[in-house]
Amino acid sequence: MQLLLRGAALLDPDDPVAETVLAASPDSLARARWLWDVRVARTLEPAYAAASTGIGPHRLVVRTADDVEAQRSRLELDSPSALRRPPHELWLVVVTSGALRHGAFTVAAGDVLVWEGDDPTSIELEPASDDVVLEQVRLRRSDGSELRWVP
Amino acid sequence: MTAYVLEAWYVAAWSHEVTGEPARRVVCEIPVALYRTADGRAVALEDRCSHRGYPLSAGRVVDDALECGYHGFQFDCAGTCIRIPAQEIVPPRTRVRSFPVVERDGWIWIWTGDPDRADASRVPDTHWMTDPEWATVTHSFRFECRAELIHDNLLDLTHESFIHTSTVGDDYIYKHGITVVVDGDVVSADRLMPGVAAPPLYASTMKCEGLYDRFHCTEFHAPSFHVLHSGITGQGRPREEGYLIKVMNGITPIDAHTSHYYYAFSRNFGVDQQWATDELVEGLRVVLQEDADALALQEIGLQSRPPGEFDVLIAQDAGVAKARKVMARLLAAERTPTAADAAAPAASGTA
């Protein structure tokens, strides 16, 4: 499954402390053991500032249980790129600067992409502007078993 | 009373249902009387006379005003009482609420929130209904379930594989993943199914055999309307080249356990073929009845579910989950007092 969250959908402009869950498992406590969640939060000390989206400075918050690992990295996309996602991993990409094309979509700064499961595992990204920068979060289980989501 | 998103447009009727004879609808537990003036304008008034609570829809239209059938009070299009037969004086409180109305492409929309916030530009696009390049079939249903179940149903079309086996379903549907996009108050769930057979219901109408790329994308305009963009196209070909279908779904809560369902199916193929239209009228009625039966059973199941038990959502429910979050956000926004509300003086005295 893949999910595209437009920046305008992420934060409530009238709520100074708004925090939005992008993806999580489980999606509600008391149903299953909590494993992980990824949130976007407004902050005065941004990890990145997607000013062009109008949602202001914000940052990603990644929390995991002991048996889930998260790896974060910054990518600069200056040419078409095909990423290979192992199907047992869940990936999340935030466009922090510029814009890219992914299939039929133009993904702008402040937008978020999430992939999980076996569709798709080949992810093609193409710059749609100069200076495209992404923040990538890779989530996996420590024992190598499949990590899924409940959005 | 169940919480509803009220700062919104809801489909209240088809255009042809609103005439010089008043008609009653219940929208989000609000009774509404609909009628049409002599010059053709659609009017929506609260369907409860301020005198004694009699339904105005049980009365009649007199000179563009709605006359209560109990004691003859007359209300104009703005809800102002203009005549009380038994006395000359009309007390100021003798009025009923009027609702902003938009009539477009055969749909009657009413705004259930603050009239000053009614923005006609927020009514979703339904132009296929009146475009001569498209042919349309419509149905109206009363679903014995809460509106949320219909939203879920439309945003997770894997149920077609099990509920609609003879019409639009096939096992290949749930084997293909979805792309969910959330953009403001619109949530879409898109599924592309490359190299598959056309759905049985449409295959003869489309006159197609062999394999095609099938697609469907549910676009939910929270809180009340879905446009399902679906169709088939040649393998590897752009969607716009194919046989296209636009399914428009007006979902209007009646109360916590029942909903109006206004359904329109527009197609860009076989537009002039009456036999195709006739076939679709019956086939789509079957599809809707299958949904109605299934969701009525689901409603019964949910009413008996113990507190603290919740749905177990899976990845195919990504659109469902995101739509629920959008609805929760809209509801929360209506519960939050605005600065203007806070500044308003407290009410004093009683009537």
B224 half-sphere exposure, CB direction, 13 A CA radius? 26
User: pLDDT, tens digit, for every residue of A37-96?
Assistant: 888 776 655 555 444 444 456 677 889 999 999 999 989 999 999 999 999 999 999 888
Q: Residue range A119-141: average pLDDT? A: 91
8 Å CB contact between B58 and B69? yes
8 Å CB contact between B189 and A12? no
Please identify which residue in the block is written with the tokens 């990890």: A47
Contact at CB, A5 and B317, closer than 8 angstroms: no
User: pLDDT, tens digit, for every residue of B21-46?
Assistant: 999 999 999 999 999 999 999 999 99
Whether pLDDT at B348 is above 60: no
| Closest residue in chain A to residue B186, using alpha carbons only | A9
Q: Residue range B132-153: average pLDDT? A: 98
Confidence bin at B169 (pLDDT 50/70/90): confident
Considering only CB atoms, A6 lies closest to which of B179, B181, B314, namely: B181
Q: Which residues contact A133 (CB under 8 A, 6 or more apart)?
A: A74, A75, A76, A77, A95, A96, A97, A98
Contact at CB, B181 and A4, closer than 8 angstroms: yes
Task: Note the pLDDT of residue B136.
Answer: 97
- Among residues A100, A51, A94, A93, the alpha carbon closest in space to that of A78 is found at A100
**Which residues is B74 bridged to in the sheet?**
B67, B83
SS3 (DSSP) at B324: helix
Confidence bin at B62 (pLDDT 50/70/90): very high
Contact at CB, A119 and B177, closer than 8 angstroms: yes
Q: Residue range B303-328: average pLDDT? A: 88
Whether pLDDT at B85 is above 70: yes
Among B152, B156, B179, pick the best mutation site for testing chain A contact (most A Cβ within 10 A): B179
Among A2, A3, A116, pick the best mutation site for testing chain B contact (most B Cβ within 10 A): A3
The three-state DSSP-derived secondary structure of B139-190 is: EEEEECCCHHHHHHHHHCHHHHHHHCCCCCCCCCCCCCCCEEEEECCEEEEE
β-pairing, B23-27 with B30-36?
A: antiparallel
Confidence bin at B351 (pLDDT 50/70/90): very low
Best-predicted range by mean pLDDT among A65-69, B252-256, B303-307?
A: B252-256
8 Å CB contact between B140 and B264? no
Q: Give the whole-angstrom CA distance, residue B57 versus residue B46.
A: 9
Angle between helices B147-155 and B274-303 (to 10 degrees): 120
User: pLDDT, tens digit, for every residue of B89-119?
Assistant: 999 999 999 999 999 999 999 999 999 999 9
Whether residue B183 lies within 8 A of chain A, CB to CB, comes out as yes
CA distances from B46 to A132, B49, B223, B224 (A): 54, 8, 21, 20
Among B157, B158, B175, B181, pick the best mutation site for testing chain A contact (most A Cβ within 10 A): B181
Best-predicted range by mean pLDDT among A25-29, A50-54, B71-75?
A: B71-75
Min distance A1 CA to chain B CA atoms (Å): 5
8 Å CB contact between B46 and B35? no
Contact at CB, A149 and B315, closer than 8 angstroms: yes
- Among residues B161, B164, B49, B32, the alpha carbon closest in space to that of B99 is found at B32
8 Å CB contact between B138 and B162? no
Among A1, A22, A85, A107, pick the best mutation site for testing chain B contact (most B Cβ within 10 A): A1
Q: Give the whole-angstrom CA distance, residue B212 versus residue B237.
A: 9
Beta strands in chain A (DSSP E): 2-5, 19-25, 36-42, 48-49, 57-64, 68-77, 81-84, 90-97, 99-102, 105-108, 112-115, 122-127, 132-141
Contact at CB, A3 and B322, closer than 8 angstroms: yes
β-pairing, A132-141 with B9-14?
A: unpaired
Considering only CB atoms, B321 lies closest to which of A103, A117, A150, namely: A150
β-pairing, A132-141 with A105-108?
A: unpaired
Q: Give the whole-angstrom CA distance, residue B94 versus residue B107.
A: 30
Q: Which residues of B161-181 are buried (b: 16+ CB within 10 A; e: fewer)?
A: bebbeebbbbeebbebbbbbb
Contact at CB, B315 and A151, closer than 8 angstroms: yes
Pair of tokens at residue B242: 């194919």
Task: Note the pLDDT of residue A27.
Answer: 62
Task: Note the pLDDT of residue A42.
Answer: 67
Average pLDDT, chain B: 92
Q: Provide, rounded to the nearest whole percent, the portion of chain B with pLDDT above 70.
A: 96
Task: Note the pLDDT of residue A65.
Answer: 92
Pair of tokens at residue A86: 């192992």
Contacts of B334 in chain A (CB under 8 A): none
Pair of tokens at residue B329: 């956000």
Q: Residue range B210-216: average pLDDT? A: 93
Task: Note the pLDDT of residue A94.
Answer: 85
Whether pLDDT at A33 is above 90: no
Instruction: Write down the pTM of the prediction.
Output: 0.90
| Closest residue in chain A to residue B311, using alpha carbons only | A31
Confidence bin at B190 (pLDDT 50/70/90): very high
In this structure, of A26-30, B130-134, B337-341, the range with the lowest mean pLDDT score is: B337-341
Whether pLDDT at B275 is above 70: yes
Task: Note the pLDDT of residue A30.
Answer: 56
Contact at CB, A2 and B184, closer than 8 angstroms: no
Confidence bin at B345 (pLDDT 50/70/90): very low
Pair of tokens at residue B252: 């209007």
Q: Give the whole-angstrom CA distance, residue B210 versus residue B273.
A: 22
| Closest residue in chain B to residue A149, using alpha carbons only | B315
β-pairing, B107-111 with A132-141?
A: unpaired
Interface of A with B (CB under 8 A): 1-6, 8-9, 12, 27-28, 30-31, 103, 105, 116-120, 148-151
Q: Which residues contact B341 (CB under 8 A, 6 or more apart)?
A: none
Whether pLDDT at B347 is above 80: no
Confidence bin at B256 (pLDDT 50/70/90): very high
Min distance A2 CA to chain B CA atoms (Å): 5
Pair of tokens at residue B292: 């109605």
Contacts of B326 in chain A (CB under 8 A): 9
Please identify which residue in the block is written with the tokens 């697609």: B215
Whether pLDDT at B312 is above 50: yes
Q: Which residues contact A109 (CB under 8 A, 6 or more apart)?
A: A7, A50, A51, A52, A53, A95, A96, A97, A98, A99
| Closest residue in chain B to residue A119, using alpha carbons only | B177
Contact at CB, B177 and A117, closer than 8 angstroms: yes
Whether residue B188 lies within 8 A of chain A, CB to CB, comes out as no
Confidence bin at B222 (pLDDT 50/70/90): very high
